[in-house]
Amino acid sequence: MDPVLSSVRLTVREAVHTLSSSEDGGRIFSTLGSLKRLSPDWLELLPNGQLEELWASFFLRGPADQAFLVLMEAFEGAASPSFRLMKMAHLLARFLKEGRMAAVMEGQCWQQTELAFPLLQEALVTKVVGLPDRLGNCLQRENLAEFFPQNYFSLLGEEVVRALQAVVDSLRGGLDCSVSFMSQVLGKACVHGRQKEILGVLVPRLTVLTQGSCLWQRVCWRLVECVPDRATEAVLTGLVEATPGPEVLSRLLGNLVMKNKKAQFVMTQKLLFLQYRHATPVLQSLLGYLAMDSQRRLLLVQALKELLDTWGSSSAVRHAPLPQQRYISKAVLICLAHLRDAELRDSRDELLASLMAGVKCRLDSSLPAVRRLGMIVAEVASARIHPEGPPLKFQYEEDELSCEMLALATPCPANDSPLEAGPSVTPAAAETPDKETVDGGVPQARLEGSDSELDSDDEFVPYDMSGDRELKNSKAPMYIRDCVEALTTSEDWERWEAALQALEGLVFRSPAATREVSVELAKVLLHLEEKTSVVGFEGLRQRALVAVTVTDPARVAEYLTSQFYTVNYSLRQRMDILDVSAPGSLFHLSGPCCPNAGDRPGAKPWRGGRCLPKSMWVGPEAAQVPCRWTSVCRIKRKEILTPATEWVNLEDVMLSEINQSQKDKCCMIPLM
């Protein structure tokens, strides 16, 4: 036999015997030192990979937390895959398959709080959750499937269930345990965006385990309570999305919203008002969870008040996106379905005030979808909040959304009996939904639809309504300064629209008043944005801006040209500046400046075949004398007549201003 092989086998056997039987620390250390000098090539000299199995047993049967840290440290600083890294990767994959991650968490659960090492736990949490990222960076294309995030976090969820099972068994045996380490792991995984993977495995298992065991319920409550504050929102959002109903959510959370202010804020504010991306079943689970306990029902009443306040806010109607308004409307109907008549009666006045304000704002909206939301919610809410009063009835087109929202107003029977004492739905309301629906007036109007054909008015002669005008609450402004104020500060959209429509005529009727605020008015029109759906908004704004420029061309042209190359202007605004001197000015200056000049006594009638297109008489006395126009046969320049009898080109004025402000630029954008 080769003497080298004999010496290797003898050394390994002595080392194995020493490590398995000796209790002397110094001897064990020296033996490990001798094994450290073994070459990786010797693994091929031993039969059946015995040394490799021995080496793997150190990690698979030793202390789980220390073995895991050593394995993860082996990947630190590795730039690219290698033989050594792949060996460690396969060993780590075997470590995970044999359930050693559950042993890591179990070891931290059994430690007493005063004996635990916070730095060690923090390092373990970081490495447990960050394992897919670390291995992906080190192994790159050679990464194993076990370390893919979708596979690893599903495995981690199963390991958490196994660790919780060990905790429950220990509690039944009278031992003290802590689940704070698993809460930190769960919170960090959810913060990293892996709620779907880990909770997709964890929630179904806990749903079955908590169904008939109060001990499992207490362990789950404690698991969520110990989640760090920075991860509370991520964990609760994932749980609400993953749970199949309010009963399961109540078993998993307990009265967490009554104990934790952060959880209460997330459940009653963020998930109801800000995160409107959730589906309707998620909203039903959340509000049903609040309705399943007598203590939590107080939060449900408060949530309904805040929802109706937001639903009735005119600012929210104008600025909130339509999906968010639908989400809040559904939440209002679900709250009304869960609350009892006595609970609604105590806050009837406050709820009705918010409801009526919201109905008014939504019926005044120009969007049909917003108006239909107001009609549906008003019908259902008025019948529930004030059943003794006259019901509100509206005519709206039935579609899938309206049918869904009307179905939400009827409380659904619970599949499981509630765990707490508080009832979820009033028995009387659950037994007689048809009667309440008839009182609400929605289906009753449909039943009476067949009789309405008898009262048809088709045989009557219709009125001639061709000359009718729309009645508006706000009158059109009579002065220029009133228009400026309405366009800049008014919150009344009817007054804002009336001011925009009347501005062009006021500018031509009051040129002297226009010159006093010409630059300010041009600035307002240049930055004006459409607040409502005004027909022809762009045309109204452009014509008003051209009218101001025609009335006071020198100062307005100087302002517009100085702003042309200024930063923070959009392409539309720069094109508006160009349009003032081109097609718009040509249209307005092709006729007399004073529309009523021909009606004055002694004024000459307008005549002339070819007139100077952009010429007008400007000066301090322009308001007292009629406009004078000059007829020419051949036109080479478009000019303005000044009091000094000079002809000045309006386009040359703006062109010279732009050239003066941008004389260092290499090129010039033409204004025509």
Residue 631 lies in a domain: yes
pLDDT in tens, 494-509: 888 888 888 889 998 9
Q: How confident is the model at residue 151 (pLDDT cuts 50, 70, 90)?
A: very high
CA-wise closest residue to 314 among 273, 360, 351: 360
Residue ranges of the alpha helices (H) in 173-277? 180-191, 195-209, 214-225, 232-242, 246-253, 256-259, 261-265
- Using alpha carbons, select from 60, 76, 91 the residue that is nearest to residue 130: 76
Q: Is residue 543 part of a domain?
A: yes
The pLDDT tens digits for 531-575 are 777 788 888 888 888 888 888 888 888 888 888 888 888 888 888
Q: Find the length of the chain.
A: 672
615 assigned to some structural domain: yes
**343-349 mean pLDDT:** 84
pLDDT digits (tens, 9 = 90+) for 646-667: 344 455 545 555 455 444 443 3
What's the pLDDT at 574?
86
- Whether 331 has a pLDDT exceeding 80, the answer reads yes
CA distances (Å), 668 to each of 160, 168, 562, 636, 671, in order?
Answer: 69, 80, 14, 22, 9
H or E stretch covering 648: strand 647-648
What gap in Å lies between CA 377 and CA 105, rounded to an integer? Answer: 50
CA 191 – CA 153 distance, rounded (Å): 13
A 10 A CB-CB count for 179 gives 22
- pTM attached to this predicted model: 0.56
d(CA 379, CA 385): 10
User: Is 538 within the bounds of a domain?
Assistant: yes
Confidence of residue 435 (pLDDT cuts 50, 70, 90): very low
Q: What is the CATH number of the domain that holds 591?
A: 1.25.40
Band of residue 611 on the pLDDT scale cut at 50, 70, 90: very low
Residue 88 lies inside a defined structural domain of this protein: no
Residue 217 pLDDT: 92
Average pLDDT over residues 95-99: 89
Per the CB < 8 A criterion, the answer to whether 252 and 203 are in contact is: yes
Question: Dihedral through CA 521, CA 525, CA 530, CA 531, nearest 10?
Answer: -20
Q: Which helix (H) or strand (E) is 640 found in, with range?
A: strand 640-641
Residue 496's domain comprises 480-596+610-661
Tell me how many domains the chain contains: 1
∠40-41-46 over CA atoms, to 5°? 100
In a domain, 270, yes or no: no
Burial 404-435 (b: 16+ CB within 10 A, else e): ebbebbbbbebeeebeeeebbbbeebbeeeee
Does the structure show a pLDDT above 50 at 601? no
Q: Tens digit of pLDDT for each residue in 175-231?
A: 888 899 999 999 999 999 999 999 999 999 999 999 888 999 999 999 999 999 999
Exposed, middle or buried by CB within 10 Å (0-12, 13-18, 19+), for 83? exposed
Distance CA 540, CA 584 (A): 12
**Per-residue confidence (pLDDT) for residue 47, from 0 to 100:** 60
> Which helix (H) or strand (E) element contains residue 4?
helix 3-21
- How many other C-beta atoms lie within 10 A of the C-beta of residue 119? 7
Q: HSE (CB half, 13 Å, CA atoms) of 533? A: 6
438 occurs within a structural domain: no
CA dihedral 614, 617, 622, 628 (to 10 degrees): -110
The answer to the question of residue 485 being in a domain is: yes
CA distance 650 to 645: 15
pLDDT for 403-425, tens place per residue?
888 888 776 554 433 333 333 33
